[in-house]
């Protein structure tokens, strides 16, 4: 299924560019969502989408382990040349994603009401956010299944297939959002239901791509996979242990972004809307630089499966070089073109003025955030869930404490705390690097549980 050539800069870039292109289209959808609402001139509707998107991000990406855990586990199974386990991993993840997605859909009303009650936004903003969230919940089962398929494709190094899946979903999302909002006048709900519809389309395309990679369709894959392998206790235990820790890690990080949104909401709808506009820059930087982090996940996971210290270190060095250069270029682009982009995203002058004031902080995000994103990729590929969990929980707690301490500084304090959170995450993971290096050359079957 997976093919691996020499680990060179050319090979790393060839693997990363499809991810980069696909990842670039993800924040593009967020930018279009923002522009579709923002160009109406309604700051309350824009703030509602901002709040609703943040909450949905927290709820859905809580199950992001279906993508992240799958990449590392699949890459390690491929590195060990365990083809049956590669297919069994996908089937387990798809089943788990379908069940979790249906549970989310069934609990959509209480989840929506409870999360909005926790936030401190204005009543009108809550109404807009509720409409957006309800639309998104309809796509929960498909969204989680797409997470699993994407992780599996990335774990096999099939980045062009993953690009096809991502681009298809995002183009459908953009078209449907414009139709539902500008064409049908559905407002924030239209943005939500447009995304949900695109996720359903992506699931169909994803299953077709799986069949192309595996050589058989999903029914045949299920038929040829031994039931004993699917339900093997040791493999299931490892799957759930890795996923549990990555889930806790993800929740901790998403709480940071919810806290960030809530901090803006406390300062009024215009500040919340301005921070959401600026957050599109942050999201764009994270997604683009994740192209090299995702490449590191697959390459590191493959090296771990082979127990190759040489390949492990070379993977880190080459992906790190690309990530550093890209982060510097992106920081410069944000600084030079950020003001023009802000004007394209919103017509509200007050929102524009606030966003411009804090643009320099956003320009620093690619450089400050890059080490934490790269380390995430390395530890996800190595399936070191506990290290990811502990570093994220500690960083989130310290970030919240710092934000509270800086609250008298208003939105300045909000952004200073956010920038510091990236340094805290990177520092926490660095503490685990020595133990990871000691463990690389140990055969998988002989490895002790990761600390």
Nearest alpha-carbon partner for 165 in 299, 269, 64, 25:
25
What lies within 8 Å, CB to CB, of 360 at 6+ separation is 335
pLDDT at 1 over 60: no
What mean pLDDT, rounded, does the chain reach? 84
Which SS3 state, helix, strand or coil, does residue 317 take? Answer: helix
pLDDT for the residue numbered 391: 95
* Overall size of the chain counted in residues: 451
| pLDDT value of residue 14 | 81
Domain boundaries, the chain: 9-446
Token pair belonging to 70: 């799958």
Summarize pLDDT for 195-234 with one digit per residue, the tens.
899 999 999 999 999 998 888 888 888 888 888 888 778 8
Which of 88, 46, 115, 425 lies closest to 272 in space, CA to CA?
Answer: 46
pLDDT in tens, 119-153: 766 677 777 788 888 889 999 999 999 999 998 99
pLDDT band at 450 (very low <50, low <70, confident <90, very high): very low
Give me the torsion for CA of 425, 426, 429, 434, rounded to 10°.
Answer: -160
pLDDT digits (tens, 9 = 90+) for 248-285: 988 888 788 778 877 877 788 788 888 888 988 888 88
Residue 40 has a pLDDT of 60
Q: Specify the higher pLDDT residue, 4 or 377.
A: 377
For residue range 18-72, list pLDDT tens digits in order.
877 776 666 566 667 777 776 665 677 777 787 787 788 778 878 888 888 888 8
How confident is the model at residue 303, as a pLDDT? 85
**pTM assigned to the model:** 0.76
**pLDDT-derived band at 368, boundaries 50, 70, 90:** very high
Rounded (10°) angle between helices 359-381 and 269-306: 30
**What pLDDT, in 10s, does the model give residues 406-427?**
999 989 999 999 999 999 999 9
Residue 174 vs residues 17, 190, 340: alpha-carbon distances, Å:
22, 11, 21
């Amino acid at each position: 299924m997976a093919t691996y050539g020499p680990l060179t800069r050319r090979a790393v870039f060839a693997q990363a560019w499809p991810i980069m292109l696909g990842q670039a289209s993800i924040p593009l959808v967020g930018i279009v969502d923002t522009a579709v609402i923002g160009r109406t001139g309604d700051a309350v509707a824009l703030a509602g989408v901002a709040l609703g998107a943040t909450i949905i991000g927290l709820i859905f990406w809580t199950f992001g382990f279906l993508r992240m855990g799958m990449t590392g586990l699949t890459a390690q199974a491929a590195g060990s040349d365990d083809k049956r386990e590669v297919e069994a991993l996908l089937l387990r993840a798809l089943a788990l994603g379908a069940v979790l997605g249906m549970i989310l859909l069934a609990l959509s009303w209480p989840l929506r009401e409870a999360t909005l009650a926790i936030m401190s936004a204005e009543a009108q903003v809550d109404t807009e956010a509720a409409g957006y969230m309800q639309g998104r919940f309809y796509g929960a089962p498909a969204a989680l299944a797409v997470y699993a398929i994407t992780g599996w494709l990335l774990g096999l190094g099939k980045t062009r297939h993953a690009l096809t899946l991502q681009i298809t979903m995002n183009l459908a999302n953009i078209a449907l959002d414009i139709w539902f909002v500008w064409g049908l006048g559905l407002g924030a709900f239209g943005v939500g239901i447009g995304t949900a519809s695109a996720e359903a389309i992506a699931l169909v395309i994803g299953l077709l791509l799986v069949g192309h990679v595996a050589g058989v369709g999903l029914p045949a894959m299920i038929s040829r996979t031994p039931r004993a392998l699917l339900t093997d206790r040791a493999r299931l235990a490892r799957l759930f242990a890795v996923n549990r820790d990555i889930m806790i890690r993800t929740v901790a990080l998403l709480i940071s972004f919810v806290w960030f949104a809530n901090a803006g909401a406390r300062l009024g709808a215009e500040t919340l809307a301005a921070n959401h506009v600026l957050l599109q820059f942050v999201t764009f930087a994270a997604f683009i630089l994740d192209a090299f982090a995702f490449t590191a996940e697959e390459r590191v996971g493959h090296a771990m499966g082979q127990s190759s210290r040489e390949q492990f270190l070379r993977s880190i060095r080459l992906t790190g070089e690309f990530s550093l250069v890209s982060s510097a270029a992106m920081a410069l682009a944000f600084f030079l073109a950020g003001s023009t982009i802000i004007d394209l995203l919103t017509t509200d002058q007050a929102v524009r003025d606030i966003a411009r004031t804090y643009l320099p902080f956003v320009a620093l995000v690619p450089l400050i955030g890059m080490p934490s994103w790269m380390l995430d990729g390395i530890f996800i590929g190595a399936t070191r869930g506990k290290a990811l969990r502990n570093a994220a929980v500690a960083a989130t707690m310290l970030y919240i404490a710092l934000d509270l301490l800086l609250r008298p500084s208003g939105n300045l304090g909000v952004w200073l705390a956010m920038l510091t959170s990236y340094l805290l995450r990177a520092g926490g993971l660095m503490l685990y690097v020595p133990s990871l290096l000691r463990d690389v050359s140990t055969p998988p079957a002989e490895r002790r549980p990761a600390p």
